[in-house]
Structure 1
Amino acid sequence: MDNTFYRHLNKGLMMALLLVAPFAASSQIKGNNGAAIIPAGLAWAKNSVNTVIFRRNSLVTFKDTQYIAYYDEAQNVVLGKRRLDSKDWYLKTTPYKGDATDAHKSISIMIDGDGYLHMTWGLHGEKLNYCKSVSPGSLELTPKMSMTGFKEKHVTYPEFYKLANGNLLFLYRDGASGNGSLMLDSYSIQTREWKTLQDGWINGEGQRSPYWQTVIDNAGTIQISWVWRETGDVATNHDICYAKSDDGGITWKKSTNEKYVLPITAANAEYSLKIPQKSELINTTAIAVDEKNNPYIVNYWKTAKDSVPQYRLVYKKDDVWQTQQISNRKIPFSLSGGGTKRIPISRPLLIVAQKHQKKHVYVFFRDLERGDKVSVAINKNIDKDKWKFKDLTKTSVGLWEPTYDTELWKDKRILNLFVEHVEQGDGETIKELTGQKAAVLEWGIK
């Protein structure tokens, strides 16, 4: 028998093994206040790389299938999928590994309008790691490839967003902390090719860098807010800025619809709120919109009147940017220093929903003062400045930060959070923790 026979035999055996590969057993765990937790597989937990807030996305749903991505305990990239009506995951260890010891080097995934999965991983100022699935719905991946080949040697904070037509956007920082600019690529499902849409359009001018958060609103407008950082020291974060694009990222406007002259810099940016350096202002938090596409931004910082950093909401009402305090924390802390910090609270995630003609605002977070559980602050009438708090897990999730399935929320108004109990040392160090599972927390927003 010749080699061709053996090649076909081996291929057939592999296909058979894949077809009968077992699903990961997933018994649902009951959380607090109506939350349910669906575990997947064992995951890396020695730092927060699987749960950092800038993962876009950790979870993503396409039609009736949800996908998950995380590093396992051997730092392999694992992909999984399940039907939304099932608690069982099909998990696949990919050929790719990442340096999970650096919490910046997270995995981001998205499904395009044709059902192809796109993935980046392991990036903190390195050459782009990017691949996609070999076919729609598959967890088998292509070899690594470039997107455009332009400014792909110093990539950090890779994020995918899907437009209503099924095309994708890819945002990332080119450069370094305190000396970087924001890049924007676009992917067409018709040509299956990437192109550079914006080259450093939010630009640090070699003196600072933007740390951003983005949402695609109900009308397809891209809305983005960011803080500036002057150096690698987190304490040099300052100010909250804003921009939007209603033509897919080609032209940009302020909230007043005044057109920006690009690039956007510290000199011409719209400032939603001026916040000085050394205010313990954190970077890379969340932006969301209401049913009328009005922007809401959530962050934490301290003021001259309050030495304790508090979660706060920034939003526009009657054409004026407003600020509202959410939390009433008691424990102070400092963000001074570089790298990923060990912080007693997480960066917050924001969801805005319309209920009974009222705007309901939900801020998801983790706080040492509440036992490091998955918590949510709820305001059902933003005009009354009244917040209530609930815990959604019974036990600690360690140094977890919230990320969610953006497409499931956008398409079906169902909230799924990625959860895992993780650790985090200060300044990019790790702490010993094993035996933790990546999971999905389902909670019905009421």
Structure 2
Amino acid sequence: MLADPSISVLGPDPAHRKCALNGYAFQQDAIQSCNGWQYSCFYSPLAGAGAEPEPLYVHLSRRKLPHGSWETLVFDDYPQTTDDGHNTVQLGVCPGDGTIHLSYDHHCDQIHYRHSIPNLASDPPSFPWTPSLFTRTLPHLPGLESLSSTLLSYITYPRFVPLPSTGGLLFSFRTGKAGLGDDHLASYSPETHAYSLVGPVFIRGISCNPYVHGLDARGGRLHASWVWRGFVEYAGWDDPDDTQHKQQAGPNGAGNNHDICYAWSDDGGRTWRAGGEEGGEPIADLPAGTPIAKGAKGITAFDIPKGSGLTNQEAQAVDGQGGVHVLNRDCVGGEQRWKHYYRAPGGQWTSRALPLVDGSLGGKRGQLAISRGASDLYLLLPDRSSDTLWIQRATRAQGYADYALVWKGSGFPPTEPLVDRTRLEYDGVLSVYTRAYAGGQKKQEEGGEGEGEGEKKRKIDVVVLDFKLEE
């Protein structure tokens, strides 16, 4: 069993809204380390006497590892007002020039982006932690200003991917609405401090588009796994001003997800391959205008039909030997279960149902992490019906087939946990970003305006749990 973690509080979570904003599986990343310092981002109201719960603002924290205190700055020049769980904040750190990048508040919207001065993450002690280190909110990516009113005007699901082997940073994003979107990739250069467009990674198929579990760089190889989501036409779907798809309901939900697919790139996402053989089948050349298409040979790892309970963007991790791990859930074979889909380094896929935990349809998504030394797999699984977080371990020595419960804790409201993969490589500590009831109490009496008699509000914090893993 793992020892109980140390817990540090980043700040109060805005739990008054209908949609949570801190802690979603598609936030890659909300917590990340570089050069012995850790960074984390979250939404929260302004602090201080008389502060109102609305609007929300992006907060960015840093601390020196392993035990430093968090310093937090607030970007109070950008009020966030949209109550939509898609509009999260993403963090990226470029290892080559020490710049910190943020993208936030998107669901088919104009890009909102800002970045720091160079060397901020390369030499943190030299810089007092203030918002003046960053640009204002920009409606473009540096170097791609000409795309501000076209490609960068309809953004969802941005994510940053550090490339340790080259020192660069990738930025991926979807354009278009659910079921009718394309995923694009841009590359940030630490030499020019600017982005260049690599191209569309995925193009919509015949009424479908991909939902990516993750983009992970390991040993010079970039790995991507995803599900497809079909599209169902509805009244007004082809109106350019239509916003019905933003309501997080309707015919184009997760019930249309199908198949689990995989591809990899050895040149920073420019060309892609698939299939079981090492070397694989060439399937895409982005600079040449050939992205990954739905019918590409060898991309399908598992044929899973629509209506099987597959969720989108659950989790992916890559172990030290190049094995690829995907977390999702399906009802193939009978009962709806959380499943671990594993691609061994030689290319063979297996699928195993997880014991102990409820992976039924509609529950919060889990997360995966790989330990530094043993390259064991840790599966972080939020309970659907309680405030419990489960952690299971599957060992490399047993072919990742021995799922053992190694920690279980309560006091965590429904949240999709995130992990700091870069810290795992640095010092073997698993930092988990999640939400927790403030003071360890599930409920606190707080008579307030709009509450009925006997009603209770819940105070929730955004926290980081630090587990020391066995080496």
Q: Provide the TM-score with structure 1 as the length reference.
A: 0.82
Q: Amino acid of the residue matched to residue 291 of structure 1?
A: G
Q: 3-state DSSP class of the match of 1:172?
A: strand
The 2-side partners of 1:40 and 1:161 are apart by: 23
Aligned residues: 392
Corresponding residue number in structure 2 for 1:234:
254
Q: Give the alignment of 1:164-183 within 5 angstroms.
A: 164=164, 165-183=166-184
Q: Amino acid of the residue matched to residue 436 of structure 1?
A: I
- Contact 2:369–2:421 under 8 Å retained in 1: no
Q: Quote the offset at 1:233 in angstroms.
A: 1.8
Corresponding residue number in structure 2 for 1:50:
22
Q: Amino acid of the residue matched to residue 342 of structure 2?
A: V
Corresponding residue number in structure 2 for 1:362:
378
Corresponding residue number in structure 2 for 1:102:
84
Q: 3-state DSSP class of the match of 1:171?
A: strand
Q: Give the alignment of 1:248-397 within 5 angstroms.
A: 248-255=268-275, 256=277, 257-261=280-284, 262-268=290-296, 270-306=299-335, 308-316=336-344, 318-329=346-357, 332-333=360-361, 343=362, 345-353=363-371, 360-368=376-384, 371-380=386-395, 381-383=397-399, 385-393=401-409, 395-397=410-412
- Contact 1:399–1:421 under 8 Å retained in 2: no
Q: Quote the offset at 1:135 in angstroms.
A: 5.1
- Contact 1:61–1:408 under 8 Å retained in 2: yes
Which of 23, 33, 57 is the equivalent residue of 1:76?
57
Q: 3-state DSSP class of the match of 2:198?
A: strand
Q: Quote the offset at 1:316 in angstroms.
A: 3.1
The 1-side partners of 2:43 and 2:462 are apart by: 9
Q: 3-state DSSP class of the match of 2:271?
A: coil
- Contact 1:313–1:326 under 8 Å retained in 2: no
- Contact 1:115–1:136 under 8 Å retained in 2: yes
The 1-side partners of 2:338 and 2:68 are apart by: 37
The reply on whether 1:36 has 2:6 as its aligned counterpart is yes
Q: Amino acid of the residue matched to residue 463 of structure 2?
A: A
User: Structure 1 residues 32 and 244 mapped into 2: Cα distance closer, same or farther (>3 Å)?
Assistant: closer
Residues 191-232 of structure 1: CA deviation (Å, up to 9, x unaligned) = 011110022x21113611111023434312110000000132
User: Structure 1 residues 105 and 226 mapped into 2: Cα distance closer, same or farther (>3 Å)?
Assistant: same
Q: Quote the offset at 1:100 in angstroms.
A: 5.3
Corresponding residue number in structure 1 for 2:31:
59
Deviates more, 1:252-261 or 1:323-332: 323-332
Residues 9-57 of structure 1: CA deviation (Å, up to 9, x unaligned) = xxxxxxxxxxxxxxxxxxxxxx983211111221223433110111121
- Contact 2:212–2:226 under 8 Å retained in 1: yes
Q: Amino acid of the residue matched to residue 39 of structure 2?
A: Y
The 1-side partners of 2:281 and 2:359 are apart by: 41
The 1-side partners of 2:72 and 2:310 are apart by: 38
User: Structure 1 residues 404 and 49 mapped into 2: Cα distance closer, same or farther (>3 Å)?
Assistant: same
More RCO (CA 8 Å, sep 6+): 1
Q: Give the alignment of 1:409-428 within 5 angstroms.
A: 409-421=424-436
User: Structure 1 residues 433 and 272 mapped into 2: Cα distance closer, same or farther (>3 Å)?
Assistant: farther
Corresponding residue number in structure 2 for 1:16:
none
The reply on whether 1:440 has 2:464 as its aligned counterpart is yes
Corresponding residue number in structure 2 for 1:208:
208
Residues 93-144 of structure 1: CA deviation (Å, up to 9, x unaligned) = 1122323521100000112132221000000100100011245435422122
CA RMSD of aligned residues (A): 2.4
- Contact 2:323–2:342 under 8 Å retained in 1: no
Q: Which ranges of structure 2 fall in alignment gaps of 5 or more residues? A: 46-53, 121-128, 232-251, 285-289, 438-454
- Contact 2:213–2:314 under 8 Å retained in 1: yes
The 2-side partners of 1:303 and 1:120 are apart by: 37
- Contact 1:350–1:362 under 8 Å retained in 2: yes
The reply on whether 1:143 has 2:113 as its aligned counterpart is no
- Contact 1:35–1:392 under 8 Å retained in 2: no
- Contact 2:42–2:59 under 8 Å retained in 1: yes
Q: Quote the offset at 1:330 in angstroms.
A: 5.8
Q: Quote the offset at 1:327 in angstroms.
A: 2.9
Q: Quote the offset at 1:238 in angstroms.
A: 0.4
Q: Quote the offset at 1:378 in angstroms.
A: 1.2
User: Structure 1 residues 264 and 440 mapped into 2: Cα distance closer, same or farther (>3 Å)?
Assistant: same
Q: 3-state DSSP class of the match of 1:374?
A: strand
The 2-side partners of 1:301 and 1:433 are apart by: 35
- Contact 1:374–1:397 under 8 Å retained in 2: yes
The 2-side partners of 1:331 and 1:216 are apart by: 24
Q: 3-state DSSP class of the match of 2:376?
A: strand
Q: Which ranges of structure 1 fall in alignment gaps of 5 or more residues? A: 1-30, 334-342, 423-430
User: Structure 1 residues 407 and 355 mapped into 2: Cα distance closer, same or farther (>3 Å)?
Assistant: closer
